[in-house]
A = this chain, B = another copy of it.
Amino acid sequence: MLYTSEALQQLIEEFAALPGIGRKTAQRLALHILKQPRDEIVQMARALVNVKDRIRYCSSCWNITEIDPCPICSSPKRDRGIVCVVEEPNDVMAVEKTNEFKGLYHVLGGSLSPLDGIGPDDLKVRELIQRMNGEVSEVILALNPNVEGEATTLYLTKLLKPLGVKVSRIARGIPVGGDLEFADEATLSRALEGRVEL
């Protein structure tokens, strides 16, 4: 008799179904929950459902938001002339963390991947093109530096350039704090290509 409680067993299954959480961690988390005050558990349960009920997609940039348009798209402080294209909402968070970028975003919802059957119509590509209405002067492509991201970058460049907007991509190179010795060849050759004059 491994579990003397069905409720506990069910919670362990729920935790174990989350990505990157194994059975042992799931068990540890469930036993931790058991020791918490009821109020806090109810609060956590509510937070779970709230995320589902309150969040939708911004009709302009397709980032997640509770109000449409999203706080970034409706902010008067943001530069409406520059749009950063990313794959997923967590990429927006990653860029926002830098405090470097003050323009708007466009979340594609993934990257082109013919092998998985993901073509331009499965991404917010048409919506991106529709945003090129003269107000936007530069598009920064910030897709993941893998095969799918590269293909998407090339595809979008071909679509955007004829519209007369400046198209750039984020630099690929040695990460800050990284070590030349441990960099792979592809990264190092991109770092050389992208060298900056001093």
Indicate if the CB atoms of B52 and A34 lie closer than 8 Å: yes
Does A154 belong to the interface (CB within 8 Å)?
Answer: no
Does A14 belong to the interface (CB within 8 Å)?
Answer: yes
Interface residues in A22-44 (C-beta closer than 8 Å to B) = 25, 27-34, 36, 38, 41-44
Kindly specify which of A61-69, A158-166, A167-175 makes contact with the partner chain: A61-69
Q: How many copies does the complex hold?
A: 2
A contacts with B, residue count (CB < 8 A): 58
A73 smallest CB distance to B (angstroms): 9
Interface residues in A1-23 (C-beta closer than 8 Å to B) = 1-8, 10-11, 13-14, 18-21
Contact pick for A7, options B6, B47, B71, CB 8 Å:
B47
A82 smallest CB distance to B (angstroms): 16
